[in-house]
Structure 1
Amino acid sequence: MATQKLISVLLLQLLLVILASDFSNGQKLNVGFYHKTCPNIEAIVAKTTQQYISRAPTLAAPLLRMHFHDCFVRGCDGSVLLNSTASNSAEKDAFPNQSLRGFHVIDAVKSAVEKKCPGVVSCADILALVARDAVRMLHGSFWEVPTGRRDGRVSVNSEALRGLPAPFANITQLKATFASKGLSVKDLVVLSGGHTIGTSHCGPFSNRLYNFTGKGDTDPKLDKNYIAQLKTKCKPGDIKTLVEMDPGSFKLFDEDYYTLVNKRRGLFQSDSALLDDPETRAYVIQQATSHGATFLKDFGASMVNMGNIGVLTGNSGEIRKQCAFVN
């Protein structure tokens, strides 16, 4: 009888430990997480980000893309910010991430935050806030950013290669990738609108101009006049020239991306693919014909959804002292 009672007590204690662990590691993000521990966090981030974007507006797009690339590999844990080591090649050095820029902005923001609130704010949260502020500074959306993420300690090159959607992905592949992260088809088409800012090297779409099926042909889904324009900028084998993803307004966060896609002028195959699904096509047409009536609001909502992917909270992970290095 005493033995059974002892076993019951031990099982109860074990259950309480498990529940406590689940709670500490399963907390949700929330707006104002740093209200008491770092009350001026958003002002500090915005001020420092503004200092860089005001001088170099083209940094906004790669900073937004950096947050996207972080969340799609291991969740939004700042793993894309970690440097490679002698024994490990990190996400930062994976081929899809070699064109990312703006790591110095994240480091500057982190340094400014550490001066006011040392050891409190994660790099993952800083990245999410910087992405929002960079978009806002190009006249884009404003959304409340839930915070409370902690930083991961692992970053693996090969995981970035496998986890990030490719610019040549078709609609089936895109939907599957987004669904695997808990994102909807609407999130897919809305977040694709981030291509309204920024540039791309010729390489990711060169095959659409010169050798689409291996026979020296062009992509029939790409507008012929646009192909002719692109060929004047991107010669065969050119991997250095930069092309605006949203010609004429690539420094302005607006709905023009959808107008271009609707005219079969989306730069990547993944852009054109949005016309191959009834739901994504309907959204493209809606925004293109309504001057982006709901795009900015939708973008903020989808960014919040994306920012929740695989987050570390509670006792998981750490708060890095420097974003490029584990503690």
Structure 2
Amino acid sequence: MASIGGGFALLLLVVLSFSSSSVNVEANIFQLGQNGYGAAGKLRGGYYWNTCPLAEIIVKEVVSKAVAANPGFAPGLGCDGSVLIDSTPNNVAEKEAPPNNPSLRGFEVIASAKALLEQVCEGVVSCADILAFAARDSIALTRGLYYDVPGGRRDGRISRASETISLPPPTSNLSHLTQSFAVKGLSQQEMVFLSGAHTIGRSHCSSFSNRLYNFNSTVSQDPSLDPVYAAQLKKECPRNSSASQTVFMDPRTPNVFDTNYYKDILVQRGLFTSDMALLSSPSTAALVRSNAKNWLLFQENFVAAIIKMGKIGVLTGNQGEIRLNCSRIN
């Protein structure tokens, strides 16, 4: 079932993105490290030290090779364990839902890590934990802050596309964003920190084209969008853009987990309506300014928020299962 956490994709992490055409970092982070139902379980650091001591090392090596070959894998790696399950003739799975398809990718990276782990420690490491480790490693490999990931998640057995309808779209205002995170026990401050995952990755043009060509009945272009940036986006995303056309969410450092996302918002270069919405209240605008100025502040608070997300609603103990193949239930 759809859940909060995701990593990127990453993530996000991560971080939490939004519509069927976006890179879905918010949606990804909104799914990190979870299996979709159940009360918060007891996770702990070094969970596999005795049962599979090479677990995190193997995941890191696989992710490192993938990101080195294609940096675009980093923001597409984090998500909930149930999003890995393939659809069947009788069920459309989460990975086929508009918020996840075509934004999520890197499934083959997780599959490779799982295959290696099954050779070394058969039936021990869950797909949900692999995703949580991969999200952390993706952040670190893009120059973000490394952090310890508590392990012990179990894999869910249910994956339904219909469960993703609560993920916030890129047109969300501040109230909608805040409420979407609040129902999962996350504060408005944590929402702002997690939104920083938009500092890496790409978005499909259709996720923000309304800001360029059909904003409202009065103006065609969103007045909150920097005109120079808008002109650049129109070159990359013409009115007749194909469904596959994408742009970097942070054009300056698209493969670096830095604070440019917040710096861009302050000069009206937030790509999504939901990005610019962070300036619509004094408190969230203050957080945007402080994050833009202080790399370490952002990194530490992002890590704290994503670790919290990774503990919400997990399956532990005898709940769920350890899938032998991440794309299908045992």
TM-score by length of 2: 0.85
Larger Rg: 1
One-letter amino acid of the structure 1 residue matched with residue 163 of structure 2: E
Partner secondary structure for residue 171 of structure 2: coil
- Whether the 8 Å contact between 1:26 and 1:314 is mirrored in structure 2 is no
- Whether the 8 Å contact between 1:167 and 1:269 is mirrored in structure 2 is yes
Map of 1:264 onto structure 2: 268
One-letter amino acid of the structure 2 residue matched with residue 200 of structure 1: S
Partner secondary structure for residue 200 of structure 1: strand
Map of 2:10 onto structure 1: none
Map of 1:254 onto structure 2: 258
Map of 2:221 onto structure 1: 218
Give the Cα–Cα distance (whole angstroms) in 1 for the partners of residues 40 and 302 of structure 2.
26
Map of 2:172 onto structure 1: 169
State the Cα distance separating 1:58 from its structure 2 match.
1.0
Q: For structure 2, which runs of at least 5 residues remain unmatched after alignment?
A: 1-37
Partner secondary structure for residue 320 of structure 1: coil
State the Cα distance separating 1:265 from its structure 2 match.
0.6
Q: Does 1:159 align with 2:173?
A: no
The alpha-carbon distance between structure 1 residues 251 and 315, as it changes in their structure 2 partners (threshold 3 A), is same
Q: 1:142 aligns with which of 143, 146, 156?
A: 146
State the Cα distance separating 1:25 from its structure 2 match.
7.2
State the Cα distance separating 1:237 from its structure 2 match.
3.5
- Whether the 8 Å contact between 2:40 and 2:313 is mirrored in structure 1 is no
Partner secondary structure for residue 155 of structure 2: coil
One-letter amino acid of the structure 2 residue matched with residue 159 of structure 1: E
> Where in structure 2 are the equivalents of 1:158-197 lying within 5 Å?
158-160=162-164, 162-197=165-200
Give the Cα–Cα distance (whole angstroms) in 1 for the partners of residues 44 and 119 of structure 2.
24
Give the Cα–Cα distance (whole angstroms) in 1 for the partners of residues 294 and 278 of structure 2.
18
Give the Cα–Cα distance (whole angstroms) in 2 for the partners of residues 212 and 178 of structure 1.
26
State the Cα distance separating 1:223 from its structure 2 match.
1.4
- Whether the 8 Å contact between 2:40 and 2:312 is mirrored in structure 1 is no
Q: String of CA shifts for 1:234-285, please: whole Å, max 9, x gaps.
A: 1114133211100121011111111001111110111111111232211111
Q: Does 1:43 align with 2:57?
A: yes
- Whether the 8 Å contact between 2:40 and 2:311 is mirrored in structure 1 is no
Give the Cα–Cα distance (whole angstroms) in 1 for the partners of residues 217 and 145 of structure 2.
41
Q: String of CA shifts for 1:201-230, please: whole Å, max 9, x gaps.
A: 110000000101145611122112211211
- Whether the 8 Å contact between 2:196 and 2:259 is mirrored in structure 1 is yes
Map of 1:101 onto structure 2: 105
Q: Does 1:112 align with 2:126?
A: no
Q: 1:243 aligns with which of 237, 244, 247?
A: 247
Map of 1:32 onto structure 2: 46
- Whether the 8 Å contact between 1:286 and 1:292 is mirrored in structure 2 is no
Map of 1:90 onto structure 2: 93
The alpha-carbon distance between structure 1 residues 104 and 322, as it changes in their structure 2 partners (threshold 3 A), is same
Give the Cα–Cα distance (whole angstroms) in 1 for the partners of residues 211 and 246 of structure 2.
16
Q: For structure 1, which runs of at least 5 residues remain unmatched after alignment?
A: 1-23, 71-77
One-letter amino acid of the structure 2 residue matched with residue 177 of structure 1: S
State the Cα distance separating 1:135 from its structure 2 match.
1.1
One-letter amino acid of the structure 1 residue matched with residue 59 of structure 2: V
Q: Does 1:60 align with 2:63?
A: no
Q: Does 1:206 align with 2:220?
A: no
State the Cα distance separating 1:111 from its structure 2 match.
0.8
One-letter amino acid of the structure 1 residue matched with residue 75 of structure 2: A
Q: String of CA shifts for 1:69-97, please: whole Å, max 9, x gaps.
A: x3xxxxxxx11111000000001000111
Give the Cα–Cα distance (whole angstroms) in 2 for the partners of residues 84 and 132 of structure 1.
27
One-letter amino acid of the structure 2 residue matched with residue 32 of structure 1: G
Give the Cα–Cα distance (whole angstroms) in 2 for the partners of residues 195 and 33 of structure 1.
30
- Whether the 8 Å contact between 2:41 and 2:313 is mirrored in structure 1 is no
Map of 1:314 onto structure 2: 317
Map of 2:19 onto structure 1: none
One-letter amino acid of the structure 2 residue matched with residue 181 of structure 1: K
TM-score by length of 1: 0.86
Give the Cα–Cα distance (whole angstroms) in 2 for the partners of residues 131 and 57 of structure 1.
13
Give the Cα–Cα distance (whole angstroms) in 1 for the partners of residues 320 and 181 of structure 2.
24
Q: String of CA shifts for 1:96-150, please: whole Å, max 9, x gaps.
A: 1112110000100111111111101110000000011011111112111011110
